[in-house]
Structure 1
Amino acid sequence: MDAVLFDFSGTLFRIESAESWLRAALDETGTALPDAELRETAAALEAAGALPGGAPPESVPEELAGVWARRDESARLHRAAFTGLSRRVPLPAPGLYDALYERHMSPDAWSPYPDARRVLRALRERGVGVGVVSNIGWDLRPVFRAHGVDGYVDAYALSYEHGVQKPDPRLFSAACRALGADPGRTLMVGDSREADGGAVALGCRVRFVEHLPVAHRPDALLPVLDLV
């Protein structure tokens, strides 16, 4: 293999819990909420699918369906989709909706999977190009920098920067071009068969991992080293 492409959320990193996310936004805005109500509200936000990188929405309201389908094509659409979902849940202060969105972009909101650093470092040592291909509406590079793994990534192909989202092969193609890699000698690693499986159309091999909490998935990325 000349290169390995990785998805971001659910593959290399995992977002914090909905409760932690809400608590951080409450602290940021100086808003108080009793613990029982906080837990109830966090559960409602999670059911609404309002946490990017978290559980998908149980249902998408008709007025958001169009935005939701294209949410990763631009920063504007991404914010509109997720703040639209969060506004389905009553919150004690109007500023919390934007605070929640801002919080999920903070490096503190993300944790790398336990084996991510080891795998990325090993690929760098073997001279294998590494790219990150993500459906996202904001710049995730600061997350990689804050967690000390940006030095192992050679290229980023982010949907909102290209105006196209996975499974469209054009996003994987952009990553391969940036790496100077032959798609036929490139491996795509992700957690979504629908989105990340789109790399097959380009000729890439694909390996899937499960989108589990960090503590429940200690070594799912390690087999990548055997494949390359």
Structure 2
Amino acid sequence: MIKGVMFDFSGTLFRIESAAQWLRAVTAKAALDVPEGELEACVSRLEEFGAQPGGVPPRTVPPHLRALWLERDLTAERHRAAFTALAREAELPAADLAEALYERSQVSGAWLPYPDTEETLRALRRRGIPVAVVSNIGWDMRPVFRDHGIDSLVDAYFLSFERGVKKPDPRIFQMACDKLAVAPGDALMVGDEPDADTGAATLGCRVHLVDPLPVDQRPGALAEVLQLL
């Protein structure tokens, strides 16, 4: 019987804006007049290097950045350094845009909840089932939950950069289970990254994976969680 649920953040409960929207928002704020073709080419390069936090994973990580990339979620400093470095590899229209892009990735307006995020969390709250967010991340996304009006539906947050441990290490899942006061065998982990989120199964937690599609392409995957209870 499921007595507590852990959710991933990016690609599970929320999804960041597209890379094109991300870059356009930053160039517009900087009042840069960038030709359309150049913008589109830069978007492709940003996606190639996976330079958008919460966006598509990199297809290419330059050798000199691989070690930093692997450790990006352990501290806020490494996270910023990794993603700004990858952005610079994408030959941005202006050199200082790497920092601006990183800052944009932490703005609540850049993130949208999936259509069934709130209703799923509210249904769990009505059933008395506690909820934790367990995320590999390098910044505090609690304001995103607050600004979208659903922070009150989350009982605890376990963020890798705060805990110094990241998924799939079972320790971070155990921390969440302890906080929720549920045994791992009575917990469910819902996420979108098989390599990371299935680490909860090591403890005996059930795991349910969703597809990290754009928000408008995934209307009801989280509602399926309620059928597992």
With the shorter chain as reference, the TM-score category is over 0.9
* TM-score using structure 1 length: 0.98
Show the counterpart of 2:9. 8
- Asked if 1 retains the 8 angstrom alpha-carbon contact of 2:166 and 2:172, the reply is yes
Distance in 2, Cα, partners of 1:29 & 1:160: 30
CA apart distance, 1:173: 1.1
Show the counterpart of 2:214. 213
Distance in 2, Cα, partners of 1:148 & 1:181: 26
Show the counterpart of 2:194. 193
Verify: 1:202 aligned to 2:199, yes or no: no
- Asked if 2 retains the 8 angstrom alpha-carbon contact of 1:14 and 1:112, the reply is yes
What does 1:49-198 correspond to in 2, within 5 Å? Answer: 49-198=50-199
Moved over 6 A (4+): none
* TM-score using structure 2 length: 0.97
- Asked if 2 retains the 8 angstrom alpha-carbon contact of 1:15 and 1:110, the reply is yes
Residue identity in the other structure for 1:87:
R
CA apart distance, 1:29: 2.1
Local SS of the residue matching 1:72: coil
- Asked if 1 retains the 8 angstrom alpha-carbon contact of 2:88 and 2:95, the reply is no
Counting aligned pairs with the same residue, the percent is 57
Q: Gaps spanning 5+ residues in structure 2: where?
A: none
Show the counterpart of 1:25. 26
Local SS of the residue matching 1:133: strand
Residue identity in the other structure for 1:38:
L
Distance in 2, Cα, partners of 1:186 & 1:140: 23
Show the counterpart of 2:38. 37
CA apart distance, 1:59: 1.4
* 1:79-102 residue CA offsets vs partner (Å, 9 max, x unmatched): 111111111111222221100000
- Asked if 2 retains the 8 angstrom alpha-carbon contact of 1:29 and 1:95, the reply is no
- Asked if 2 retains the 8 angstrom alpha-carbon contact of 1:131 and 1:175, the reply is yes
Distance in 2, Cα, partners of 1:67 & 1:218: 35
- Asked if 1 retains the 8 angstrom alpha-carbon contact of 2:114 and 2:219, the reply is yes
Local SS of the residue matching 1:111: strand
Residue identity in the other structure for 1:80:
A
Q: Gaps spanning 5+ residues in structure 1: where?
A: none
CA apart distance, 1:30: 2.4
Distance in 2, Cα, partners of 1:184 & 1:92: 51
* 1:13-62 residue CA offsets vs partner (Å, 9 max, x unmatched): 00100010001111222222122211111111111110111111111111
CA apart distance, 1:206: 0.3
Calculate the aligned-residue CA RMSD, in Å: 0.9
CA apart distance, 1:140: 0.5
- Asked if 2 retains the 8 angstrom alpha-carbon contact of 1:190 and 1:209, the reply is yes
* 1:141-191 residue CA offsets vs partner (Å, 9 max, x unmatched): 000011111110000000000011100011111111221121110000001
User: Please, which moves more after superposition, 140-149 or 171-180?
Assistant: 171-180
Distance in 2, Cα, partners of 1:118 & 1:20: 27
Distance in 1, Cα, partners of 2:113 & 2:93: 32
Residue identity in the other structure for 2:90:
V
Distance in 2, Cα, partners of 1:105 & 1:212: 20
Distance in 2, Cα, partners of 1:39 & 1:89: 12
